[in-house]
Structure 1
Amino acid sequence: MDGAEKTLSTISGVTNDLGRLRDNIDSVISKSTQTADGLRPRLSDLQVQIRRLGEPPAKDAPPETAAVAAERARLDVQAAEVSGAIKTLEVTWWRARQAIDKITDLRLQMFVRSLTEQMSSPLMPEFWSEIGRQKSSVQWRLKYNAEDWWGSINRQKGSVLVLLAAAIGLYLLLKAVALAVTRYRPGPNATPPSFFERAASASWIAPVRAIPGVAAVLLLYGGLEYLGLLYYPTAAPAGAAFFRYALVFTAVSALIISVFAPNRPERRLMALSDRSARRITVLLILLALINSIDLFLSKFGQILYFPLSMSVAQSLFTSLAFAFVLIGLLLTPFESNETTLARPVGRSEPIWLKFPLWIAAASIIACCLTGYIAMGRFLAQQLVMTGVVGLIAVLLFLAIRAFTRGSTTSRGHISVILEERMGFDELRRKQLGWLTEVVLTFGVAFVTIPILLLQWGFAAPDIRDWLQRLLFGFEVGQIRISIVKILLGIAIFVALVFVTRLIQRRLRENILIAPKMDAGIANSIDTAVGYAGTGLAAVIAISYAGFNITNLAIVAGALSVGIGFGLQSIVNNFVSGLILLIERPIKVGDWVVVGNEQGTVRSISVRSTEIETFDRASLIVPNSELITGRVLNWTHRSALGRVVLKFSAGPDVDPRRVLAILTECANRHPTILREPAPIAVFEGYTATTTDYTLRVLLPDITHGLRVQSDLRVAVYEALRRSGIAFAAALPEAAS
């Protein structure tokens, strides 16, 4: 690190030198980290051994044996050496990080300085006079290299002609195959393809369109190299640059044609008319061609050592050409396609897109005319590269949305897949579709952002370092946050919760089922398993994510203040819910009466209990009310219960005869228990009535209403057959 810091203090402003120095410092960081990680377990072992020896004896205590003292001294020395080595490595790591930060700052300064360097304005005569002075030397270099290379070609004229013919023939052959492959047209009555189908079609049509040009370029390059025509000092790098940028132009052109499909509106991804699509396609291909020519001429000028004035002039012409073609593109009306083949991607005049591009075109022209030609060239190049990357990213995003949100009739749609192959319901399909869209969108952004940063001048090592810090840990105060660990923690939590739900389902299907187990006990066990599994999953996930669980005590202390003020009722209901599950004064399936409402307990959750009334309405009762209030539970200990019915007859009847009829009707009912036997009681009489009650026991009190109805019908029929007249009936009661 001493040598690296010394080099950094005296290094010249060359990006390659900074890159090599950055690589060396990265290796220092990697080695120091690995060495320190390897020493830390050794230090932990030594510290454990020292602790096992116990504390050294006090001054007034008996001394320890010589062997123990010697062993303690040996371990202390080794621990001090290992600890010192670790601290030295940590200091080295910190110095390396500071050096990398300094390299990043130097690169940024050099980048800004190169873009903001002002040359002579092309509006000034000095600019053109300098070019005129260098013109003859440039012409001589071009003529010398061209004659030398052309002489080599003439010596192998036949082979070169055969190579050209083969390249042209291969191109025409593959072009015919590509046209045949992509020639399919739907019938007039065919259903218009969805956006996802058109995007999927473009994803394979673009490579097919690019194959003829790419194959011809590769054949031509390989043939020239085989013939030895690219082994000259200038021909080799110039040829490599030419064929490289030709491949890039071919691929970008194929992508543009596949997206805008000027002659195939049924495959067009943008909702544009044929005229607009053709004009936009031509202008975009022209922009890509200008950018490729600019890149090649810049490389060619470096190879032939062109004067700076010539390189500046070349950048000026290509940048201005780019700006004027861009203006032509912006003047093109984005006419919408009147058919319904495509879902609109933008408005017919997307101001949100054209306005920034107008500013960019004006900025390029202004920079070139005021002498900031490097800045103008940089803007032109970035518009092309950023536009290509952005176009691909937007198309991927739209394809993702079409895949996850499109109509269920679209082939390949995720809803159709989840419904046909997995049988998920609509709600679950929407949830999984949304989750899939989020994951895929983040994936596209995760790939796109680093590429854009590279295009805009950021160094690859810096981007890699940022990603490593983002994913594998960065410090906020005393806390180290790692997105990878957090995501793994979330994945562990989801997996453990899934296992918990699976265990609960197995318990409900195989063990916690009637008549093997009471419904209330089954619900308590099921709820307890769910709480325990979720809590354990949360603790394990938090621990794996890197958070110290002991620090949760601080959070608990802070929450206690909130509990004292605003969360008291919530915590009270939660604790009451736990009491209901453990003490079980009420349980699922019980018939309870709360105030003026009664019904069957359906569920006991963390905060409240759901009671289904006999009208099939859900009554939500806070758990604290069930613990602190008065609740009548008809089925707390058992389902056994008593039903009391009251009857009134005329004053002239024989009470014994009425009692016998009531007892006989009760004994005939199959649901009523015979032991203890039903009881009929003569309650009293008035001037107009004689009053009776019938008390019966039922094995299941929940059938009380049906039994009461049956008994009333039976008593009514029996009394009428006996000629006994009824008085007004009194309301019944149950206990």
Structure 2
Amino acid sequence: MPTFVFFPTVLLRALLALSLLLGGFYATAQAVESEGVRDIAQELDQARTELKQIQAALADSKIPFTDQQLVDFRNRLNQVQTKAAGIDTTITPLHQAAQARLAELGLPEDEATETQDVKKQRSALNEEISTLSGQLKIARLIAVEAEQAISEVAAQRRQQFQDVVSQRGLSPFAPSLWRQLQEKLPDDRLAVQKSWQKIKEAFAPVAWQHKLWLGVGALVWALGGIAIWFRFIRFLVNKSQPTRLRRSLLAIGLIGLYVAIPTGVLLILLSVLMYAEGLTPELLVFIRQFIAVVALAAFIAGLGRALLSPHKPTWRLPSLPNEVAQALQWLPLTLGGLIIVLWTLQQLTHVISSSLSTVMLTNGLLALGLNAVVGIAVWRAQRYYRKEGGLDLGSVWLTGLHRVALRLVSLAVLCSVIALLVGYTALSNLIIQEVIWLGVVILTTYLLYCLLSDVAQAVLNNVRQDAAQSQLNQAQWRWRSQAVLLFSGGAKLGLLLVAATLFSLPFGEDPVIWLQRRLAFLSQGFTFGEVTLKPVAFLYGMVVLVVGGLAVHSLQAWLANQYLPYTRLDPSMRSSAARLVSYVGYVAAAVVALSAAGIGFDRMAWIVSALSVGIGFGLQAVVQNFVSGLLLLAERPIKVGDWVSLGTDVEGNVRRINARATEIERFDRSTVIVPNSEFITKVVRNVTLSEPLGRGQITVVMPVNVDAQQVRACLLRAAQSNEQVLEDPAPFVTVDGFEQNGGIAFSLFFYLPSPRLVSAQRSEVFFAVLELFAQARLALHHTQRMEVIGAASSGVEAVPVSAADASSVGKTS
């Protein structure tokens, strides 16, 4: 096949394949869009069906629900609400886009003038908007009804909880309870044996290889965690400075070790459930809850050990005496282990459906064990303080707060024990578990608060060191310090708000779900005009703005320090180009941040309107100076390093051209801030703009009878003897004419490499002129004062003149 035929054939085939591919993409996109609409409709139907079933179950008051069933209802309702909110988030931009496309078509025109294609598009868009509007309304209605159902479930749980708490039963010390337990003990033993047999049968099909590998994996996880912990300690001890931040990081690392090892081992071992068969749903729920309880108990144990640090006083964050820390070193591990054991016994009674006496006994043992541990810990602490003559933490406020906390805990333990003795076991459990929960919240908040403070202090120390080493100027040191303090303050405020929210957490409520419901406004947002502002989206926009600003700053530094020095641009132009790129980048980062915050490009009209009003009234001068700064960077009538003069008051070197003003350093080392508009609207003298050479001039007045050629030769010799004076252009001398007092004015002109050398070199040339005149015995005009002093034998005499005319010795320009 000839070449001229082959290439067109290949080209046609490529175009055909490309068109088919694009057509396939278009068809696929249309199919995906229609499929997405159908999926949304199916999800809405499923969510509505799920919601109706739960509402019907809750409306049937004849069916008594257990607390676990109500928790399941709540979880399902939360899923329905989340699904409805997701559909709302998905449909809203589609609905807005369809409305925007319909608005582009405009109002319907006359039937005779409007084309058929426009009619079809209008009809399709109206149908799409109608469908999306209906789905949007249904999704929002489902979300509202789900929220109402969740409130109803919470009300029923509170009512059940109040009934249980106010119910009086048998105390664990009552003989009748032990008699009932003795009667029901054979049945409970048989139930335990049956449950154990089911577990063995469920795990029997699991191959021993799987069990072996899971056991090895758990062992490797535990040993690896311990090895990482020791490496972490060595790193902090050898590589970090001995500050409070190191102690905070050690505390966080110790808590992570306590939580990660047992939780990870259990997850690895219990992954054998994937191979088990025949486990009941109750047992599966119990196993998952058991892992969560182990993680919580490990967190409590790690938190206590990290804060007490009985064997490492230098690692201890709170100001506790060593005797108290050592006296309470048993508390964290004992409390964590007791929680695991007693909770396991309590939940096993529900799994095996044991007798009522066994349930009451396990509840009583749980309350008794927790009260005993907390009570003994408080008693030992108070005994030490009484022995030492009182509590002193170095601060009157902290000491008083600690003393009040100890007394309140003691009172709570006493009330819990009394409630347990008289038979109110549920109330006793409520009191002591609330004490432990509040203690965990307070101690966790304290640890995280210390961590935030220590991180901020460490960053401030680094910034201060960089400023001391002249790596940062005063402005950079200030804004970095302010940014660190603002971030630290905001994080601490958020931490305290979360802690306060957890403080008010109702007993038995899931903390995650509780926070989600209380902080729902962060994701739902509020409407401002035609724009929906969401705090979460606003925070995301702030993150995008900060990241974008850092990226632009890095780009500017890369251009100024790495790329532009290898171009033909001079230093001032490189600085201007990098600054101009930074302006464009910051504007782009701001626009992207607004879009990320939920304010799209099509919704910025109100921002532009507000800015226009602000510019018209108060920001006109600022915008004028900013635009003038852009013109200075683009046209470059002045640049960094130029010698400029503005009027009669401002003269000096341009040091920096900012967005609003330009910094000029005067020759007395003072700095003048000049608005950029001054360089655009007024006359500016730029000494170093086009010609980099400097010109010096010296004028002398000589007597009328002087030898003009000798004067000319002396002046030229004085200029040529200076090394800074250029040979090209060469120095020259002119006769300016007769003076009114009868003298002749001679002017010497010479050129220098830079105008900045004129002042100093003119003085040197003047000295040389005077020396040559003295050697040539040339006297100045009698109206000028010059004393030619030489050796006595030379016969040179002094020529006195009046001091009033001394100012006419030299004229320079």
TM-score (norm 1): 0.70
Match of 1:543 in 2: 595
Residues 1:104 and 2:153 are matched in the alignment: no
**Residues 136, 584 of structure 1: CA spacing in aligned structure 2 closer, same or farther, 3 A cutoff?**
same
In 1, Cα distance between the equivalents of 2:194 and 2:687? 110
More displaced 10-residue stretch of structure 1: 611-620 or 279-288: 279-288
Residue 661 to residue 447, structure 1, CA distance change in 2 (3 Å): same
Partner of 1:588: 640
Deviation at 1:695, TM superposition (A): 3.5
State the SS of the aligned residue for 1:526. helix
2:309 to 223, 242, 261: 261
**Which among 617, 627, 645 is matched to residue 698 of structure 2?**
645
Q: Which residue of 1 aligns with 2:138?
A: 92
Q: Equivalent residue for 2:434?
A: 382
Distance 1:549 1:310 in 2: 66
- For structure 2, the residue ranges without an aligned partner over 5 or more in a row are 1-47, 197-218, 272-278, 786-805
Please state how far the C-alpha of 1:712 moved relative to its aligned partner: 0.9
Quote the sequence identity (%). 21
Partner of 1:712: 766
Aligned AA for 1:359? L
1:136 paired to 2:185: no
CA distance in 2, matches of 1:511, 1:240: 58
- Cα deviation, 1:255-307, whole Å, max 9, x if unaligned, reads 53454233444554544443121123245556556655664564466553436
Shift of 1:458: 3.5
Rate the CA distance shift 1:102–1:252 in 2: closer, same or farther, 3 A: same
Query: What is the letter of the counterpart of residue 462 of structure 1?
Result: I
Distance 2:74 2:779 in 1: 111
User: 1:592, 1:633 within 8 Å by CA — same for their partners in 2?
Assistant: yes
Deviation at residue 447 of structure 1 after TM alignment: 13
1:532 is aligned to 2:581: no
Matched with 1:362 is 411
Number of residues paired by the alignment? 684
SS in 2 for 1:58: coil
Match of 1:610 in 2: 663
Distance 2:545 2:281 in 1: 62
Question: Structure 1 residue 671 and structure 2 residue 731: aligned?
Answer: no
Displacement of 1:81 in angstroms is 5.1
SS in structure 2 of the partner of residue 638 of structure 1:
coil
In 2: Cα distance, 1:193 partner to 1:121 partner: 55
Is 381-390 or 455-464 further displaced after alignment?
455-464
Q: Which residue of 2 aligns with 1:599?
A: 652
Q: Is the 8 A contact 1:665 1:711 kept in 2?
A: yes
* Contact 1:18 1:103 survives alignment (8 Å): no
Secondary structure of 1:331's aligned partner: helix
Report 1:39-54 matches (<5 A).
none
Q: Measure, in 1, the Cα distance between the counterparts of 2:395 and 2:170.
A: 44
Per the alignment, residue 755 of structure 2 pairs with 701
Give the drift of 1:591.
Answer: 1.0
Distance in 1, Cα, partners of 2:681 & 2:641: 21
Q: Does 1:475 align with 2:526?
A: yes
Equivalence map 1:255-654=2 (5 Å): 256-257=304-305, 259-265=307-313, 267-283=315-331, 288=336, 295=343, 298-299=346-347, 302=350, 303-306=353-356, 317=368, 321=372, 324-325=375-376, 327-328=378-379, 331=382, 350-363=399-412, 365-366=414-415, 374=426, 377-388=429-440, 390-392=442-444, 394-395=446-447, 398-399=450-451, 402=454, 405-406=457-458, 431=480, 434=484, 457-459=508-510, 462-463=513-514, 465-466=516-517, 474-477=525-528, 478-482=530-534, 485-486=537-538, 489-490=541-542, 492-494=544-546, 496-498=548-550, 500-501=552-553, 503-505=555-557, 507-508=559-560, 516-518=568-570, 521-563=573-615, 566-594=618-646, 595-648=648-701, 653-654=706-707
State the Cα deviation string for residues 599-640 of structure 1 (Å, max 9, x = none).
111111122111122233322223344445554332344334
2:400 counterpart letter in structure 1: I
Q: Is the 8 A contact 1:601 1:610 kept in 2?
A: yes
The amino acid that maps onto 2:56 is: K
Per the alignment, do residues 665 and 323 of structure 1 end up closer, same or farther by CA in structure 2, a change over 3 Å counting? Answer: closer
Task: Verify the 8 A CA contact 2:453 2:488 in the aligned structure 1.
Answer: no
Distance 2:547 2:292 in 1: 48
Structure 1, gaps ≥5 residues long: 154-170, 223-230, 338-343
Letter in 2 for 1:694: L
C-alpha separation in 2, matches of 1:618 and 1:699: 26
Distance 1:272 1:652, change over 3 A: farther
Corresponding position: 1:662 with 2:710: no
SS at match of 1:615: coil
TM-superposed deviation, 1:645: 2.2
Answer whether contact 1:241 1:296 (CA < 8 A) is retained. no
3-state SS, counterpart of residue 281 of structure 1: coil
- CA deviations 1:82-102 (Å, max 9, x no partner) are 444433322332222122222
The one-letter amino acid of 2:411's match is: A
Is the CA contact 1:330–1:358 (under 8 Å) kept in the aligned structure 2?
no
In structure 2, how many angstroms separate the alpha carbons of the residues matched to 1:62 and 1:148? 85
Matches within 5 A, 1:186-225: 195-197=244-246
Contact 1:29 1:96 in 2 (8 A): yes
In the aligned structure 1, how far is the partner of 2:283 from the partner of 2:83? Answer: 42
| Higher RCO (C-alpha under 8 Å, 6+ residues apart) | 1
Distance in 2, Cα, partners of 1:88 & 1:511: 56
The separation in 2 between residues aligned to 1:320 and 1:257, in whole angstroms, is 20
Looking at structure 1, the residues matched to 544 and 192 of structure 2 have their Cα atoms a distance apart, in angstroms, of 65
1:168 aligns to what?
Answer: none
Deviation at 1:402, TM superposition (A): 4.7
Alignment of structure 1 residues 6-17 onto 2, 5 Å: 6-10=56-60, 14-17=66-69
Q: Secondary structure at 2:110's aligned position in 1? A: coil
Mark the CA change 1:434 to 1:20 in structure 2 (over 3 Å): closer, same or farther. Answer: same
8 Å contact kept, 1:640–1:698? yes
Distance in 1 of aligned mates of 2:293 and 2:330: 19
Structure 2 contact 73–153 (Cα < 8 Å) conserved = no
- Offset of 1:463 from its aligned partner? 4.8
Equivalent position amino acid for 2:146 in 1: I
> Would the aligned equivalents of 2:700 and 2:811 in 1 still touch at CA under 8 Å?
no
Which residue does 1:163 correspond to in 2? none
What are the equivalent positions in structure 2 for 1:7-46 lying under 5 Å apart? 7-10=57-60, 14-25=66-77, 28=80
Per the TM alignment, residue 542 of structure 1 is displaced from its structure 2 partner at its CA by: 1.8
Residue 567 (structure 1) shift: 3.9
1:143–1:350 CA distance, 2 compared to 1 (3 A): farther
For residues 357 and 305 of structure 1, do their structure 2 counterparts lie closer, same or farther at Cα, with a shift above 3 Å needed? farther
Cα distance change of structure 1 residues 379 and 353 upon mapping to structure 2, 3 Å threshold: farther
